[in-house]
Amino acid sequence: MSNNIDFKELWNRGKANAPDVSEIFAKANQLNRKTRNKIWRGNIILSLTIIFMIYIWWHYQPELITTKIGLTLVILAIIFFLISTNQMFPLLAKTDEETDSHQFLEQMLRIKQKQEFINNQMLSAYFIFLSIGIFLYMIEYAGRGSLLFKILAYGITFAWMAFNWFYVRVKAAKKQRQAVNEIISRLEVVNQQLLE
């Protein structure tokens, strides 16, 4: 082979039959539907939980204010969760593909960092609201039992909460952080390529 390899000629050999345009349109619609379904599924399940709790409230007519506050906090925890997950979608969809590569990479980095922040905050807030909510909710019903019952009820509940807070939350946060951090560091490496 000579010194002058005609890269352009070799490059132009790369071809693929273009799928019919209608296939592009169909795929676009399918994609839209998928995203919409994904958002809906999460929202419906959690909304049903909220409705269920409002039903408990209405059906059992709790007497103590602590029970009501407890239920409110649990519902707030779920709403908080919903808001933050729903917030992610527009945030992620907001990438501007029409900008140059450098800007695009910086933009992706910003989004990932924001995502990591939201993940962390959301998870902590969710756990705190939920734990306090359950604690308050229990006061009325645990208070009706004997001392042993109270100790057992609170002991088990707190052991469960501690397990969630120190183990499940930490593990979930770590897993999320790892996934996002990996992407962030890859993005940083690629962005660095442009600066060299």
Partner 1 sequence: MVFEDIYREYWNKVFRICMGYVNDADLAKDIAQEIFIIIWKKLPTFRNESAIGTWIYRIASNNCLRQIERQSRMPKTELPEQIEDISEPDKEWQSKFLYKCIAELPETDRIIISLELEDVKQAEIAKITGLSESNVRVKIYRIKEKLTQKFKQYEQ
Question: Looking at 43, 86, 87, 99, which residue binds partner 1 (CB under 8 A)?
Answer: 99
Examine residue 93 and tell whether it contacts partner 1 (CB under 8 A): no
Give the burial class of 67: count Cβ atoms within 10 A of its Cβ; 0-12 exposed, 13-18 middle, 19 or more buried: buried
Question: Looking at 59, 63, 100, 147, which residue binds partner 1 (CB under 8 A)?
Answer: 100
Helix axes 21-60, 65-93, angle to 10 degrees: 170
| Closest approach of partner 1 to the CB of residue 89, in Å | 15
Asked if 140 and 63 count as a contact pair (C-beta separation under 8 A), the reply is yes
In order, the DSSP letters of 91-144 are HHHT--TTS-HHHHHHHHHHHHHHHHHHHHHHHHHHHHHHHHHHHHHHHHHHTT
Examine residue 44 and tell whether it contacts partner 1 (CB under 8 A): no
- Segment contacting partner 1 by CB under 8 A, of 18-26, 37-45, 50-58, 130-138: 18-26
Site residues, partner 1 (CB under 8 A): 1, 3, 5, 7-16, 18-19, 21, 23-25, 27-28, 31, 97-105, 108, 112, 182-183, 186-187, 190, 193-194
